[in-house]
């Protein structure tokens, strides 16, 4: 198995390279960072629904669809990608996909530990600190005859850029995503107060991955590989591939395992209601309501949000909280009742 200990490649190439190696059937560990920022979407995501394409264009952030699962991400030089490419006939590969995540994550967990950050694997695909903050997210897929597993060590993170890259049903929800990520996503800089030297982190990563895969053979990018990668880039950046329609519908954003932003929309008789909630184990941490329905007095919507915050997403409980709000605040919402709010919030039971 080869080791490509690369420095930085252009945003797209930092992702294209593992696709190339997998198609060529070259088993490797690649360590690389993107020189320039990049937005990446999972194979089944619709670019137009998941990413703010106008912002990306203005900010000169290219978009790439990867041949892996998972959601939209913002990638930049403050991440060290660890990309494992193994053939599916390699005994290290398991068709029990969760096993691969568990086994390969160990190298990343031990690397963080070496720098004083205690972490653990949280199925399906996250590495979390002891305080439950995400510090590495992973994705995988079959490409050619290989299984590919990728993730990234977070040295630092541009929360603002990430929240800008994502498309949101309404601008007021963007701030919720930003705050939720800031709270639930951590980095080496946040945990340690500083970023350890990049080369030190990579050395430890190599040492820990070698415990899993055995001694890795150092290899370098060849001119042929660069040429092939350029051809691949044409395929991956073609509008037909980038903007292909997929069956995935935008329903929210997973911040980390256990915490997600859920978007919902409901057309009531009195107008459209939109809802965005940060939900943790069925409890509403944060909620934003908006839409074009009428509410008298106008400034009371915040009171309803306050009434729902911290509550479990149970229909009977939330219904009573909405009724309580109506009675206490003496508000009127012509053509909109508590059931309509629950539909927008996607509360069914």
Partner 1 sequence: MAKVEDYNMPDELYYHKEHMWAKVEGDKVKVGLNDFSQKLAGEISYIEMPEEGDEVKQDDAVGSYETGKWLGKLYTPVSGEILSMNEDAEDDPTLVNEDPYGEGWIFEIKMSDSTELDNLMKGEKAIEWLKGEITKHVKEKK
Q: Report strand pairing: 134-143 vs 126-129.
A: antiparallel
Kindly state whether residue 152 participates in binding partner 1, applying the rule CB under 8 A. Answer: no
Q: Report strand pairing: 271-280 vs 259-268.
A: antiparallel
Instruction: Give the one residue of 7, 48, 57, 124 binding partner 1; rule: CB under 8 A.
Output: 124
Give the binding range for partner 1 (CB under 8 A) out of 56-64, 90-98, 205-213, 281-289: 90-98
Q: Least Å distance between CB 276 and partner 1?
A: 21
What are the tokens at 191? 């945990």
How many residues sit in the footprint of partner 1 (CB under 8 A)?
A: 25
Kindly state whether residue 248 participates in binding partner 1, applying the rule CB under 8 A. Answer: yes
Site string for partner 1, 38-77 (x = CB under 8 A): ----xxx----------------------xxxx-------
Kindly state whether residue 14 participates in binding partner 1, applying the rule CB under 8 A. Answer: no
DSSP H/E element including 307: helix 301-308
Long-range pairs of 294-299 with CB within 8 A, sequence gap ≥ 24: 294/270, 294/333, 294/334, 294/335, 294/336, 295/331, 295/332, 295/333, 295/336, 296/331, 296/332, 296/333, 297/331
- Which C-beta is closer to partner 1: that of 89 or that of 299? 89
Kindly state whether residue 83 participates in binding partner 1, applying the rule CB under 8 A. Answer: no
Instruction: Give the one residue of 26, 53, 97, 161 binding partner 1; rule: CB under 8 A.
Output: 97
> Where in 42-118 does DSSP place strands (E)?
63-65, 73-75, 79-87
Give the binding range for partner 1 (CB under 8 A) out of 96-104, 183-191, 261-269, 287-295: 96-104
**How far apart are alpha carbons 99 and 254 in whole angstroms?**
22
**How far apart are alpha carbons 42 and 40 in whole angstroms?**
7
Kindly state whether residue 252 participates in binding partner 1, applying the rule CB under 8 A. Answer: no
227 burial (CB, 10 Å; 0-12 / 13-18 / 19+) is: exposed
Instruction: Give the one residue of 7, 58, 59, 99 binding partner 1; rule: CB under 8 A.
Output: 99
**How far apart are alpha carbons 181 and 307 in whole angstroms?**
23
Give me the DSSP letters along 101-121: HHHHHHHHHHHHHHTT--EEE
- Which C-beta is closer to partner 1: that of 246 or that of 337? 246
- Which C-beta is closer to partner 1: that of 23 or that of 114? 23
Q: Least Å distance between CB 149 and partner 1?
A: 9
Q: Least Å distance between CB 137 and partner 1?
A: 9
Whole-number Cα distances in Å, 209 to 15, 92, 245, 315: 20, 12, 37, 48
- Which C-beta is closer to partner 1: that of 102 or that of 306? 102
Residue 199 DSSP SS3 = helix
Q: Least Å distance between CB 8 and partner 1?
A: 25
- Which C-beta is closer to partner 1: that of 35 or that of 248? 248
1 burial (CB, 10 Å; 0-12 / 13-18 / 19+) is: buried
Q: How many Cβ atoms are within 10 Å of 316's Cβ, its own excluded?
A: 9
Q: Least Å distance between CB 67 and partner 1?
A: 6
Give the binding range for partner 1 (CB under 8 A) out of 11-19, 121-129, 188-196, 264-272: 121-129
Interface residue list for partner 1 (CB under 8 A)? 42-44, 67-70, 91, 94-99, 123-125, 138-142, 246-248
């Amino acid at each position: 198995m080869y080791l490509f200990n690369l420095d930085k490649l252009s945003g797209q190439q930092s992702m294209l390279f593992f696709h190339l190696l997998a198609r060529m059937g070259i088993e490797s560990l690649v360590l690389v960072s993107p020189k320039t920022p990049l937005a990446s979407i999972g194979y089944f995501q619709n670019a137009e629904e998941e990413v703010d394409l106008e912002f990306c264009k203005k900010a000169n952030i290219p978009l790439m669809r990867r041949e892996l699962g998972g959601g939209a991400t913002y990638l930049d030089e403050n991440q060290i990608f660890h990309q494992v490419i193994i053939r599916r006939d390699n005994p290290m590969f398991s068709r029990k996909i969760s096993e691969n995540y568990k086994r390969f994550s160990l190298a990343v967990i031990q690397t963080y530990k070496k720098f004083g950050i205690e972490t653990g694997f949280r199925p399906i695909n996250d590495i979390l600190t002891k305080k439950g903050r995400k510090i590495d997210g992973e994705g995988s897929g079959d490409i050619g005859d290989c299984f590919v597993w990728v993730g990234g060590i977070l040295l630092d993170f541009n929360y603002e850029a990430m929240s800008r890259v994502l498309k949101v049903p309404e601008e007021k929800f963007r701030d919720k995503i930003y705050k939720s990520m800031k709270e639930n996503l951590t980095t080496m800089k946040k945990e340690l107060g500083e970023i350890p030297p990049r080369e030190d982190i990579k050395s430890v990563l190599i040492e820990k991955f070698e415990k899993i895969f055995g001694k890795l053979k150092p290899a370098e990018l060849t001119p042929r590989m660069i040429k092939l990668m350029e051809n691949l880039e044409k395929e991956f950046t073609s509008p037909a591939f980038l903007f292909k329609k997929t069956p995935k519908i935008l329903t929210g954003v997973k911040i980390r395992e256990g915490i997600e932003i859920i978007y919902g929309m409901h057309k009531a008789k009195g107008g459209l209601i939109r809802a965005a909630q940060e939900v943790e184990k069925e409890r509403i941490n944060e909620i934003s309501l908006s839409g074009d329905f009428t509410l008298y007095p106008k400034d009371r919507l915040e009171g309803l949000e306050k009434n729902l915050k911290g509550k479990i997403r149970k229909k009977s409980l939330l219904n009573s909280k909405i009724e309580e709000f109506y009675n206490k605040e003496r508000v009127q919402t012509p053509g909109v009742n508590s059931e309509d709010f629950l539909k927008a919030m996607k509360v069914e039971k």
